[in-house]
Amino acid sequence: MTDATGSVQPSMLTRPTTLAEYETCNGAIDLGTLRSEIRARVDQRRAEVAELLSAGGELWEWSRGRDFVAIGGLAIVRDGAVVRAWQDWRS
């Protein structure tokens, strides 16, 4: 969950999503099985996403690159601009 806010452009957005859908599609998280530090980071992001979305906007998946040089994650988009983004994966 690396901050990618300055790197994600609207052209990199792939599809709208919800946090529950994103977590399910990317391996559902059973918080009870995670170390306390990881569990705290997941809870922190869930709270941050909820807070940012309460001000308006949509949650989107994003990606850049392809095959073995791709990265991607989540972005919050408001009025066509990426206001917050996280890199969650790398191929």
Please state the φ and ψ torsions of residue 4, each to the nearest 5 degrees.
-125, 20
Query: Is the confidence at residue 41, as pLDDT, over 60?
Result: yes
What would the pLDDT profile of 4-23 be if each residue is shown by its tens digit? Answer: 999 999 999 999 999 888 87
Q: What is the largest CA-CA distance in the chain?
A: 38
How is the chain split into domains, by residue range?
A: 2-90
Q: Which tokens in the block code for residue 42?
A: 């997941």
